[in-house]
Amino acid sequence: DPVAIAPPAAESAPAATVVTATTSSKTYSTPDTPDNDLMIRAALGKSPVEKTPVWLFRQAGRHLPEYHSYKTQTGRSFLDMLSFPEDVAECTMQPVRRYDLDAAILFSDILVIAEALNIEVTMPGGVGILVPQPLKSPRDMNKRVPFAQVEQDAAAFVQDKLSHVIKSVKLIRTKMAEEQTSIPLIGFSAAPWTLLFYMVGGSSRKNNDAGTTWLKKHPEASKRLLDTLTKIIIEYTSAQVEAGAHMLQIFEAMGMMIDEDNFYEFAMPCLEQIATELKARYPNVPLMVFSRGASFANEKLSALGYDVVTIDGEVDRSTARATMADRAGLQGNYDPKELILMDADGKVVHTTETVRKSAKELLKDLGPQRLIANLGEGLGGKESPMLVNAFVNAIHEESEAMIAVSSSL
């Protein structure tokens, strides 16, 4: 029963055949290849797919009635649920039970690293993410952020402060095995700039310039914080792979809150370091990046080692493929508004037919190969599960037909 509260289960991942990749200091393992490996093949581009894979940003939670029922039964807030691996596993599994998705994604939040660094995060509802006590100055930062602990051993810091997330990944893999759901599990993290933006008082609803103001006033302190965040992200995502994640997504969710010059000076070096280190550790684990609202960076991101670059709704599809060349695959950029059934007056504005038509346009514009069909931004909660299902099915059916035709020519 997807609504019932999931009972605790074993926290160890199912036995897996591993592929190893060696760096100078450690030998790392990557998870077994799932039966449905469309996502992995589309991401790495080593072999063609028979149909385009699809998953959705924020596919768990908000828009699902079973999520709201489950959340009510737990009596916990969204942020509180993230501390309970059984809650995380249940919410991760809900959308893959309902839809024919080609991947599950860890049910979590972009600011768990900020919380691990003693930064309180709240979501009071209707106003987005809030940090009640942001970092006020470099002195305040040095007093509150545990730099010494991270610099001494970032991996140990992750295991100490984010162990609940790692346990959740293991439990999700266990649930997937129990439910015979053999698809990739995506692990993820926010990128350093996005974390800094929130930690110094930025918000999507107000204080939009807080992050860039901090960069301008405190460039050296900014670089120290970004460097520390980069170290944590590398170890945090590595720990997710060690626990069973098959793919990784890096979210530069606040890319629209930084200008191009500052992006290249402060954000891009971090993204490059993350890609370089993760691909050295895990060459066969697909690495995806989304620099939302900063599409100017996509071409350079595609050259850093990311296997897939996500395009948001503002990107011109006609030029997106040329921008990537053969360096990276594409992910995106369907408009989630197409999945809202009725407007504020109760008038039906989208149907399964309109969804199929727009899904077909996405495939025609971007091509069915080396593509992961997804959204240009996350599901907001007003979307119709019926139309989400129609989108997933349309992508599979229309892409399969397109590929079959091209193969017969």
For every residue of 111-165, DSSP letters joined together read: THHHHHTT---B--SSS--B-SS---SHHHHHHHS-HHHHHH-HHHHHHHHSHHH
CB 84 within 8 A of CB 403: no
Q: With CA atoms as reference, report the closest residue to 369 among 407, 335, 339, 336.
A: 407
Residue 316, classified by CB atoms within 10 Å of its CB into exposed (0-12), middle (13-18) or buried (19+), is exposed
The rounded distance, in Å, linking the Cα atoms of 138 and 154 is 21
Number of structural domains the chain divides into = 1
pLDDT digits (tens, 9 = 90+) for 273-298: 999 999 999 999 999 999 999 999 99
Q: Is residue 5 part of a domain?
A: no
Q: Are 74 and 87 spatial neighbours (Cβ–Cβ below 8 Å)?
A: yes
* Residue 2 covered by a domain: no
pTM for the whole structure: 0.91
Domain for residue 310, yes or no?
yes
CB 18 within 8 A of CB 30: yes
Q: Does the residue 13 lie in any domain?
A: no
In angstroms, the first-to-last Cα distance of the chain is 46
Other beta carbons within 10 Å of 294: 22
* Within-domain flag for 14: no
Confidence of residue 216 (pLDDT cuts 50, 70, 90): very high
**For 141-283, where are the E strands, in sequence order?**
185-190, 247-252
- 């091209």: which residue's tokens? 406
> pLDDT (tens digit, 9 = 90+) per residue, 341-360?
999 999 999 999 999 999 99
Q: In 256-272, which positions are buried (b, 16+ CB within 10 angstroms) versus exposed (e)?
A: ebbeeebbeebbbebbb
CA atoms within 13 A on the CB side of 88: 25
- Residue 251, by phi and psi: left (phi above 0), alpha (psi -120 to 50) or beta? beta
209/225: higher pLDDT:
225
Residue 374's SS3 state is strand
The whole-angstrom separation of Cα 219 and Cα 225 is: 10
Please check whether residue 4 lies inside any domain of the structure.
no
Share of residues in the chain with pLDDT > 70 (%): 92
Domain containing residue 265: CATH number: 3.20.20.210
pLDDT of residue 32: 85
Domain that holds residue 60: 19-408
CA dihedral 230, 233, 237, 242 (to 10 degrees): 90
CA distances from 4 to 7, 49, 72, 396 (A): 9, 36, 11, 30
Contact (Cβ atoms closer than 8 angstroms) between residue 145 and residue 228: yes
Structure tokens at 90: 């249940």
| Residue 115 domain flag | yes
pLDDT band of 156, cuts 50, 70, 90: very high
Q: Which residues lie closer than 8 Å to 178 by C-beta, 6 or more apart? A: 9
**Per-residue tokens: 299:** 């071409």
What average pLDDT does range 10-16 have in this prediction?
Answer: 33
Whether 220 is covered by a domain: the verdict is: yes
For residue 261, give the amino acid letter.
D
Q: What's the mean per-residue pLDDT of the chain?
A: 92
Structure tokens of 197? 């933006």
